[in-house]
Chain A
Amino acid sequence: MKTPAPEAATGSARSEEEAPDPAPGKSGEREASFTTISGRPIDRLYTRQSLAGWDEARDLGEPGQFPYTRGIHPTGYRGKPWTMRQFSGFGTPEETNLRYKHLLAAGGTGLSVAFDLPTLMGRDPDHELSRGEVGKCGVSIASLADMETLFDGISLADITTSMTINSPAPMLFAMYLVVAEQQGADWRTISGTIQNDILKEFIAQKEYIYPPRPSMRLITDVFGFSAAQVPKWNTISVSGYHIREAGATALQELAFTLRDGVEYVQYGVDAGLDVDQFVPRISFFFNAHSDFFEELAKYRAARKIWAHVMRDRFGAKSERSWKLRFHTQTAGVSLTAQQPYNNVVRVALQALSAVLGGTQSLHTNSLDEALALPTAEAATLALRTQQIIAHESGVAHAVDPLGGSFFLEKLTLDMEKGALDYFDTIDRMGGMVAAIERGFPQREIADSAYRYQQAVERKEKIVVGVNRFVEQGDRGVPILSIDEAAAARQIERLHALRRDRDHGRVRTALDDLKRAAEGTANTMTPLVEAARAYATVGEMCDALRDVWGEYEEQPMI
């Protein structure tokens, strides 16, 4: 099933006759048609007439007021600037701990943990499937012992930490809470985020373990546990980032992400939770891609849609439930291996769109990331890019400085309409879990990815240094190489841990976890105890694999 070609349908329908004619006819233009990077047609000029049906009070409103098109804070960044949160992690916990201290010393204002693939997939470093992967894409965290090392000398009471972890999110969250407890930090006041967004894993990034329905149960368990015990923690970061990286258009990113958000809220409500208790802790995560105005429209439409859905569909009473808060990361997929210094410029423009779109926190990619994980120098330059935007450009002085632009408001309206059309399609399928089970978002994204690649091949979309302005013999950049000894060290440490811990306590905790999973008790309680007992990520995940089995997707091209 396909939605009625949303990009085209919501594109400009304005005819040449209605438009004022500032140029001497079509023949004066260098292209037959102009489109965004997502393929949405763009008119020559936008005027008041482009905004038929648009109402300034209703659609734009005031910053800090429903529907928050102009942002969730009345003062924008004049009160508090966005958090500069650089995603980072590699090798052993010791190496990553040093990188964190470096980033904080350089003026970073939050931490963001990148885990390696074995951790993300709930496998211990010595598992057969972990071979070659330990510490490669992120830091290897196998147990509480590794988590203690990761945050050694960093006060969890004074910093917020974001952890990019999904299927094993409850396990890593439990370990983080125990480290906080050891440091004497109060669970009721600490804050941070776990990504914990399994739907986009099925849709895009494919780091799932269990089938969709038990996976959703784990998430609602985290919602319930946190509402009661860690009330300032952001329990989920509903992510469009990976959906976009997998090839979605801006509109598909917006629509699928917000519809995922709706699905989580529905599951929470169905689990008996009160909307205004858990929804304020739901946050979002968007991509900042290269088409500047399209991205701006996406962030603004996202806030507006969420406010309406929470108030009107779910009857949320608290303004905190209506406000969509989001993190942004610049588009990894837009980075090129060719002429890598060009990436600095791409990242700066993408970051600017996120800031003008009102992001709460931002990660800027490093220039070398089409080649490897970033070096410390490249990561510092990426952070400096944010600091220059914040402190030199002046764009953060006024709230939503581009609000009221005919072009931007028209794009925002069309984004909203296109997303709501997708909502209808997915609602008709029975919701997002059902849509995923029949492969709908996966197919839409794969189609868009292929269409974009074809446009690049035909040079309808230009990528500087790749299909135009190509240079022979690229200037190389220094590359971070991951010490192959990291894996051996992690395995050795794991074996020592398994030898020395209290075996009876581990076994009891894992048995309690299984019993909770088989029944309806909240799984977070036995997970925290398992973390305290130094059970490994692999052991905790295996206990649930025994109960729920593993998910396998049907290969489809």
Chain B
Amino acid sequence: MSKIRVVIAKPGLDGHDRGAKVIARALRDAGMEVIYTGLRQTPLQIVSAAIQEDADVIGLSILSGAHNHICPEVMRLLKEKGLDDVMVVVGGIIPDLDVTRLAEVGIHGVFRPGTSMQEIIDYITSHVRSRAETV
């Protein structure tokens, strides 16, 4: 089976990238192919990166409180480009109430402070539908 391909992205104006970088390394060390977009990516740039990299998973790192604006936009663009099967997960500071809201727009998993790297690796490995297999 080919490697799981993950795009890790930092949308919005925030520059706190510790979480994004730590999880990118952890996924890479777990055998995944990881592409880190760098900072301040718009939803369109993130979706374009996912297309270009043939990603199975998009991981969004958001700590600024802008998740209710960014996540629906990323999901809308994915749908528009016919990439409904890409799994989108979010890590960051997300209040309880918003976890439900994000699930409603199609975000697959939300990981909050204190989540272990192994938990995220296991979640992705067991839930991802490899695009290589479905094509």
- B39, CB-defined interface residue at 8 Å: yes
**Shortest beta-carbon distance from A222 to chain B in Å:** 22
- B100, CB-defined interface residue at 8 Å: no
* Contact call B116/A467, Cβ cutoff below 8 A: yes
* Contact call A446/B21, Cβ cutoff below 8 A: yes
Interface size, A (range): 35 or more
Q: List 28 A-B contacts (CB under 8 A).
A: A117-B64, A120-B13, A121-B13, A130-B13, A132-B70, A133-B13, A133-B69, A136-B64, A136-B65, A137-B14, A137-B64, A207-B15, A337-B113, A338-B114, A373-B65, A446-B18, A449-B22, A450-B25, A453-B117, A454-B117, A456-B116, A482-B65, A553-B39, A554-B38, A555-B36, A555-B37, A556-B36, A557-B21
**Complexed CA–CA distance, A450 and B18 (Å):** 9
* Contact call A245/B65, Cβ cutoff below 8 A: no
**Complexed CA–CA distance, A370 and B113 (Å):** 7
Cβ contacts B38-54/A at 8 Å (1 or 0 each)? 11101000000000000
- B75, CB-defined interface residue at 8 Å: no
- A372, CB-defined interface residue at 8 Å: yes
**Shortest beta-carbon distance from A91 to chain B in Å:** 11
Given contacts A132-B66, A482-B65, A557-B28, 6 further A-B contacts (CB under 8 A): A117-B66, A123-B13, A205-B16, A207-B15, A453-B26, A466-B114
Interface size, B (range): 35 or more
A contacts with B: majority SS: loop
Cβ contacts A442-480/B at 8 Å (1 or 0 each)? 000010011001101100000101110000000010010
**Shortest beta-carbon distance from B22 to chain A in Å:** 5
* Contact call B37/A129, Cβ cutoff below 8 A: no
Q: Which of B64-83 contact A (CB under 8 A)?
A: 64-66, 68-70
**Shortest beta-carbon distance from B21 to chain A in Å:** 5
**Complexed CA–CA distance, A151 and B112 (Å):** 35
**Shortest beta-carbon distance from A330 to chain B in Å:** 16
**Complexed CA–CA distance, A453 and B17 (Å):** 14
Q: Which of A109-151 contact B (CB under 8 A)?
A: 117-118, 120-121, 123, 129-133, 136-137
* Contact call B113/A449, Cβ cutoff below 8 A: no
User: Which residues from chain B sit less than 8 Å from chain A, CB to CB?
Assistant: 8, 12-18, 21-22, 24-26, 28, 34, 36-40, 42, 64-66, 68-70, 93, 95-97, 112-114, 116-118
* Contact call A557/B117, Cβ cutoff below 8 A: no
* Contact call A450/B13, Cβ cutoff below 8 A: no
Query: Can you name the residue of chain A whose Cβ is closest to the Cβ of B13?
Result: A117
> Which one of B8, B22, B40, B112 contacts A450 once the chains associate, using CB atoms below 8 Å?
B22
* Contact call B34/A557, Cβ cutoff below 8 A: yes
* Contact call A131/B117, Cβ cutoff below 8 A: no
* Contact call A453/B22, Cβ cutoff below 8 A: yes
**Complexed CA–CA distance, A123 and B13 (Å):** 10
**Shortest beta-carbon distance from A109 to chain B in Å:** 29
**Complexed CA–CA distance, A136 and B65 (Å):** 6
* Contact call A129/B40, Cβ cutoff below 8 A: yes
- A206, CB-defined interface residue at 8 Å: yes
Given A133-B12, A137-B65, A449:B116 Cβ within 8 A: no
> Which one of B8, B18, B116 contacts A246 once the chains associate, using CB atoms below 8 Å?
B18
* Contact call B70/A457, Cβ cutoff below 8 A: no
